[in-house]
């Protein structure tokens, strides 16, 4: 299971319950262009058992969105042992944490993903690192979605790409109809949340027909 350069992907994030995962994930047709994420609220509620459930139900790439801020080595090990292929760390974490994280992910064969939520200058954060990540995530947070002036900072993509050969994922209120804009602005991965009715955030409603919705999104992804 590997990410290929010059190819586009979607990442579907579960932030609800294990029952939601059991109901929806078997309905998502397998495609190597799909990454399945164990979201942060989901992991906080269900821990590594939640990641193991996704691993059992999905044979493709699994992301554990731990948003690590310290103690990177142990937390990466937890996720890898549960079956995750990629793990996230917060870009606001200390440089030492980011270096430990990137190095240990590389040693385990796990993709390192630095989430730049709240980081004003992602490039400046990357420059002093001894060990570079596989991914950076340009992220407008869930709470930021309530601010109409808050935008996904697509301009950071070209700044980072000018210095580093990394994959770029984009998250922040994306709907199925919005993935094209993410790719147009240079993203490799568009992250979409699976949401429940009444959720103030945007994403794919969990009552959707995923056997139809996912292939429709993949047509925007391309081959």
pLDDT level of residue 74 (50, 70, 90 thresholds): very high
pLDDT at residue 219, as a whole number: 87
Is 1 contained in some domain?
A: no
Is 100 contained in some domain?
A: yes
pLDDT at residue 147, as a whole number: 46
The answer to whether residues 169 and 13 touch, using CB atoms and an 8 Å cutoff, is no
**For residue 118, is pLDDT > 90?**
no
Higher per-residue pLDDT: 155 or 205: 205
pLDDT at residue 223, as a whole number: 59
Is 4 contained in some domain?
A: no
Structure tokens given for 221:
């992804």
Is 3 contained in some domain?
A: no
**For residue 148, is pLDDT > 60?**
no
Q: What is the mean pLDDT of residues 183-201?
A: 87
pLDDT at residue 120, as a whole number: 85
CATH number at residue 150: 3.20.20.70
pLDDT at residue 189, as a whole number: 94
Domain that holds residue 211: 9-221
CB atoms within 10 A of CB 19: 8
pLDDT at residue 142, as a whole number: 55
- β-sheet bridge partners, residue 12: 36, 192
Overall pTM > 0.85: yes
Cα 216 to chain centroid distance, Å, stands at 20
Q: Which of 54-58, 125-129, 184-188 has the lowest mean pLDDT?
A: 184-188
pLDDT at residue 149, as a whole number: 46
**For residue 36, is pLDDT > 70?**
yes
**For residue 171, is pLDDT > 50?**
yes
Task: Provide, rounded to the nearest whole percent, the portion of the chain with pLDDT above 90.
Answer: 68
SS (H, E, C) 50-88: HHHHHHHHCCCEEEEEEEECCCHHHHHHHHHHCCCCEEE
Domain count, the chain: 1
Q: What is the mean pLDDT of residues 91-104?
A: 96
pLDDT at residue 212, as a whole number: 92
pLDDT at residue 146, as a whole number: 45
Mean pLDDT score across all residues of the chain: 90
Is 2 contained in some domain?
A: no
Enumerate residues 6+ apart whose C-beta is below 8 A from 84. 38, 51, 55, 62, 63, 64, 110
Higher per-residue pLDDT: 181 or 67: 67
């Amino acid at each position: 299971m590997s990410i290929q350069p010059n190819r586009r992907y979607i990442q579907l994030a579960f932030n609800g319950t294990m029952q939601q995962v059991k109901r929806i994930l078997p309905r998502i047709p397998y495609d190597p262009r799909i990454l399945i994420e164990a979201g942060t609220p989901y992991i906080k509620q269900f821990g590594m058992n939640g990641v193991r459930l996704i691993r059992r139900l999905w044979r493709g790439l699994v992301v554990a969105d731990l948003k690590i801020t310290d103690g990177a080595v142990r937390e990466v090990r937890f996720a890898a042992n549960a079956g995750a292929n990629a793990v996230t760390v917060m870009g606001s974490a200390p440089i030492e944490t980011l270096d430990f994280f990137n190095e240990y992910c590389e040693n385990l064969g796990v993709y390192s993903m630095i989430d730049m939520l709240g980081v004003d200058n992602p490039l400046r954060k990357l420059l002093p690192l001894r060990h570079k990540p596989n991914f950076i995530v340009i992220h407008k947070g869930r709470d930021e979605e309530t601010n109409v002036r808050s935008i996904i900072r697509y301009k950071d993509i070209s700044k980072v790409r000018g210095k580093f050969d990394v994959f770029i994922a984009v998250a922040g209120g994306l709907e199925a109809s919005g993935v094209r804009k993410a790719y147009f602005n240079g993203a490799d991965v568009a992250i979409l949340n699976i949401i429940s009715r009444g959720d103030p955030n945007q994403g794919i409603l969990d009552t959707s027909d995923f056997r139809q919705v996912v292939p429709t999104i993949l047509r925007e992804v391309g081959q």
